[in-house]
């Protein structure tokens, strides 16, 4: 069926798995990583997850934030009557004889992201996660459209690189893959060429805006209430693509306009999207970005949380070192964010068991690996103290009801057994100290244009060593600690793992996974397995307290520590006031120089 009106000139859409306004990020992460055959689990937990909202005209009431930015930019270019964003199942209502472009937003079209590697490491294959299935279904719908010859298909979003890397554009029916942001003049020019019927290049790389003024934020409802607050990061990790972008923090009023527009369209939750929450308000101030601007950040979060109609507020990404830099900031943010948090954990000491769960890159416990691929991760502290920074940050986080998701890379290039043991040492030390965060292991994925783009690590689960398997399964066992969930869940999960190993996994993953999986199942005590040499029980050496970490910071950074940093989980009794440590006033070196000197 085609629309009698001739349809819209430009139609924008996204796969079902990316267009649902899910209750939380758990559903989104699950769809990006779980294989299609496990979709029944989502239906059990979220029986209505496939239901989507529509406006009166049939267009999508909610869409991914990136697609909303493109929509706003194209409306500015061609007018509101010529552009529509709709759900995949409604394409036939808007694609007509006048349609010249269909734009598709993708996140994980072929299942080769970090997240997909999580389940690849367990189930032996990640080529068809749930979101990949629905993305391919969308492309098949477009290929079968009777008017297909009359319009171009342009793909954008964070997953476009997968289509380029695998050479599957023709197979999927894609005319052009765009990498970059959609509000640039170059993006508008590309759509004008498509509307004119010109042959498009197979790939286009769009420049990133270099100033606040060039960046658009959505002016309508987005999935998860995602509203951008910064671009870039600045810590210069070799494996990270977002860090290639310039470090920009968006003005408070621009963010608040987007929040109010989201609420006006029916949104009730806001996710402040960023690569590092803690750099907002500090960019371009003359103070190193790794010292958060407490007052500005608190002011922004307080106003977002107080906006009428906003029921929940969540943070997306941040880093660990600022927890150690400013515990008072974490305590003050907790007072603002916890009442608006949608997350609860039984182990939380909060009266309503509420918690804050940001996503943080831990990546490795090996100082050798950290110094090679993420030397700026610990700043202002030395990367040689990375394990201590992690433990102190988690101590402060947990004291304030923060239980982050901590990503770990497994199988990175040149990773040795000693590196894996160092990470296991850190995980076991977290367990001994009663610290907690959700440990999310994933197989290393080289991302385009990063410094590790052409580096090769582990590419499939059968290549994993016994220690790497132990790290992966120890993380999942750690996450399923008794008391975290309903009492029967950890046991059921482990029993299921044994059944899967017996019926499928021992053939898919090879013998290296056998004893780690026995450890995970709890069939044998870990100490017994270690005694017979089947697993490694890690033990971390001496670590530094927060006071010792601050005392070890270079003199030219010490003057930036806040003097009143005695919030919950803050300095130990007798800790030095960082503002009174000798060596203040030294000229600050460039950030890149600071990072290089820690390598």
Write out pLDDT tens, residues 140-182.
999 999 999 999 999 999 889 889 988 999 999 999 999 999 9
Compute the C-alpha angle 517/520/525, nearest 5°: 110
Lowest mean pLDDT among 249-253, 507-511, 531-535: 507-511
Beta carbons of 513 and 534 less than 8 angstroms apart: no
Alpha carbon distance 319, 567 (integer Å): 18
N-to-C CA span, the chain: 61
Averaged over 347-352, what is the pLDDT? Answer: 92
Q: What is the DSSP letter of 531?
A: H
pLDDT digit string, tens, across residues 177-205 = 999 999 999 999 999 999 999 999 999 99
Token pair belonging to 346: 């039984």
Alpha carbon distance 412, 332 (integer Å): 37
Computed over every residue of the chain, the mean pLDDT equals 87
Alpha carbon distance 560, 526 (integer Å): 44
Burial readout 273-301 (b: 16 or more C-beta within 10 A, e: otherwise): bbbbbbbbbbbeeeebbbbbbbeebbebb
Q: What is the DSSP letter of 199?
A: P
pLDDT at 596: 43
pLDDT at 1: 60
**Alpha carbon 377 to chain centroid, angstroms:** 16
* Residue whose tokens read 């859409």: 13
pLDDT at 599: 37
Averaged over 329-358, what is the pLDDT? Answer: 95
pLDDT digit string, tens, across residues 479-497 = 987 555 566 666 776 777 7
Q: What is the DSSP letter of 35?
A: B
Compute the C-alpha angle 61/66/68, nearest 5°: 35
pLDDT at 172: 95
Helices (H), 433-487: 466-479
Please compute, for residue 176, the number of CA atoms within 13 A of its CA located in the half-sphere on the CB side.
22
438 forms beta bridges with: 405
pLDDT digit string, tens, across residues 417-447 = 999 999 999 999 999 999 999 999 988 888 8
Count Cβ atoms below 10 Å from residue 397 Cβ, excluding itself: 27
- pTM, two decimals, is 0.88
H/E element, 115 = helix 114-123
Q: Is omega for the bond preceding 380 within 30 degrees of 0, making it cis? A: yes
Beta carbons of 320 and 393 less than 8 angstroms apart: yes
DSSP string, 46-110: -TTTT---B-TTS-BS-B-HHHHHHHHHHHHHH-GGGEEE--GGGHHHH--TT--EEEEE-S-SS
Checking if the pLDDT of 8 tops 90, the result is yes
SS3 for 231-287, per residue?
ECCCCCCCCCCHHHCCCEECCHHHHHHHHHHHHHCCCCEEEEECCCHHHCCCCCCCC
- Phi and psi at 569, nearest 5°, equal 80, 10
Beta carbons of 233 and 278 less than 8 angstroms apart: no
pLDDT at 34: 76
pLDDT at 206: 93
**pLDDT confidence bin for 371, thresholds 50/70/90:** very high
Token pair belonging to 554: 């270079």
Alpha carbon distance 363, 361 (integer Å): 5
Checking if the pLDDT of 573 tops 50, the result is no
Nearest residue to 173 (alpha-carbon basis) of 143, 201, 208: 143
Count Cβ atoms below 10 Å from residue 452 Cβ, excluding itself: 19
Checking if the pLDDT of 76 tops 90, the result is yes
Q: What is the DSSP letter of 30?
A: H
Alpha carbon distance 548, 255 (integer Å): 38
Q: What is the DSSP letter of 347?
A: T
> Of how many residues is the chain composed?
599
pLDDT digit string, tens, across residues 555-566 = 999 999 987 655
Beta carbons of 141 and 478 less than 8 angstroms apart: no
Q: How far is CA 198 from CA 13, 151, 153, 300, 436, in A?
A: 22, 11, 12, 45, 55
Alpha carbon distance 200, 322 (integer Å): 45
Q: What is the DSSP letter of 589?
A: P
Alpha carbon distance 41, 336 (integer Å): 33
Token pair belonging to 490: 């950890």
Nearest residue to 547 (alpha-carbon basis) of 571, 580, 579, 582: 571
Averaged over 286-311, what is the pLDDT? Answer: 96
Token pair belonging to 9: 């000139």
pLDDT at 594: 46
Token pair belonging to 48: 């209505």
pLDDT at 487: 62
Token pair belonging to 339: 């009442």
Averaged over 325-349, what is the pLDDT? Answer: 95
Token pair belonging to 23: 């209750």
Burial readout 491-518 (b: 16 or more C-beta within 10 A, e: otherwise): eebbeebbeebeeebeebbbebbbbbbb
* Residue whose tokens read 């477009």: 142
User: What contacts 455, CB < 8 A, 6 or more positions away?
Assistant: 412, 413, 446
pLDDT at 584: 30
103 forms beta bridges with: 12, 154
Checking if the pLDDT of 576 tops 50, the result is no
């Amino acid at each position: 069926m085609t629309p009698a009106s001739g349809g819209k000139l430009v139609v924008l859409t996204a796969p079902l798995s990316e267009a649902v306004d899910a209750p939380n990020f758990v559903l989104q992460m699950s769809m990006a990583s779980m294989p299609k055959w496990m979709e029944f689990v989502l239906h059990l937990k979220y029986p209505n997850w496939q239901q989507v909202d529509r406006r009166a005209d049939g267009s999508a009431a909610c869409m991914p934030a990136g697609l909303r930015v493109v929509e706003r930019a194209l409306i500015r270019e061609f007018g509101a009557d010529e552009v529509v964003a709709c759900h995949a199942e409604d394409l036939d209502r808007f694609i007509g004889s006048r349609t010249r472009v269909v734009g598709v937003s993708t996140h994980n079209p072929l299942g080769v992201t970090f997240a997909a590697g999580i389940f690849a490491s367990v189930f032996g294959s990640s080529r068809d996660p749930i979101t990949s299935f629905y993305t391919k279904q969308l492309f098949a719908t477009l290929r079968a459209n009777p008017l297909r010859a009359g319009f171009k298909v342009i793909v954008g979003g964070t997953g476009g690189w997968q289509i380029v890397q695998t050479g599957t554009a023709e197979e999927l029916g894609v005319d052009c893959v765009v990498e970059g942001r959609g509000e640039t003049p170059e993006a508008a020019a590309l759509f004008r060429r498509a509307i004119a019927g010109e042959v498009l290049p197979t790939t286009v790389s769009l420049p990133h805006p270099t100033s606040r003024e060039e960046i658009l934020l959505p002016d309508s409802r987005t999935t998860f209430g995602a509203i951008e607050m910064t671009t870039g990061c600045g810590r210069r990790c070799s494996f990270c693509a977002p860090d290639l972008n310039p470090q920009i923090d968006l003005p408070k009023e621009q963010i608040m306009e987007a929040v109010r527009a989201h609420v006006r369209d029916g949104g009730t939750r806001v996710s402040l999207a960023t690569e590092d929450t803690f750099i907002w308000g500090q960019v371009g101030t003359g103070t190193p970005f790794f010292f958060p601007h407490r007052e500005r950040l608190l002011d922004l979060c307080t106003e977002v949380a107080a906006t009428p109609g906003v029921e929940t507020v969540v943070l997306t990404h941040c880093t660990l070192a600022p927890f150690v830099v400013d515990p008072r900031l974490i305590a003050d943010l907790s007072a603002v964010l916890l009442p608006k948090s949608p997350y609860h954990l039984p182990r939380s000491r909060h009266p309503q068991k509420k918690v804050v769960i940001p996503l943080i890159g831990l990546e490795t416990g090996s100082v050798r690996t950290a110094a090679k691929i993420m030397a700026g991760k610990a700043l202002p502290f030395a990367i040689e103290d990375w394990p201590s920074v992690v433990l102190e940050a988690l101590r402060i986080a947990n004291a304030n009801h923060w239980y982050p998701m901590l990503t770990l890379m497994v199988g990175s290039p040149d990773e040795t057994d000693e590196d894996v043991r160092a990470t296991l040492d850190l995980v076991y030390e977290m367990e001994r100290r009663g610290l907690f965060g959700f440990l999310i292991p994933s197989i290393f994925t080289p991302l385009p244009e990063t410094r590790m783009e052409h580096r090769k690590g582990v590419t499939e689960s059968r290549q994993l060593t016994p220690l790497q398997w132990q790290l992966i399964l120890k993380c999942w066992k750690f996450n399923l600690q008794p008391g975290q969930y309903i009492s029967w869940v950890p046991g059921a999960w482990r029993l299921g793992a044994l059944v899967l190993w017996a019926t499928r996994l021992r053939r898919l993953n090879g013998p290296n996974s056998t004893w780690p999986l026995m450890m995970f199942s709890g069939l044998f005590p870990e100490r017994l397995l270690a005694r017979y040499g089947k697993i490694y029980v890690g033990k971390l050496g001496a670590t530094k307290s927060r006071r010792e970490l601050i005392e070890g910071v270079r003199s030219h950074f010490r003057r930036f520590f806040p003097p009143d940093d005695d919030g919950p989980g803050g300095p130990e009794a007798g800790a030095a006031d960082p503002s009174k440590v000798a060596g203040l006033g030294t000229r600050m070196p460039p950030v890149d120089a600071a990072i290089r000197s820690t390598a």
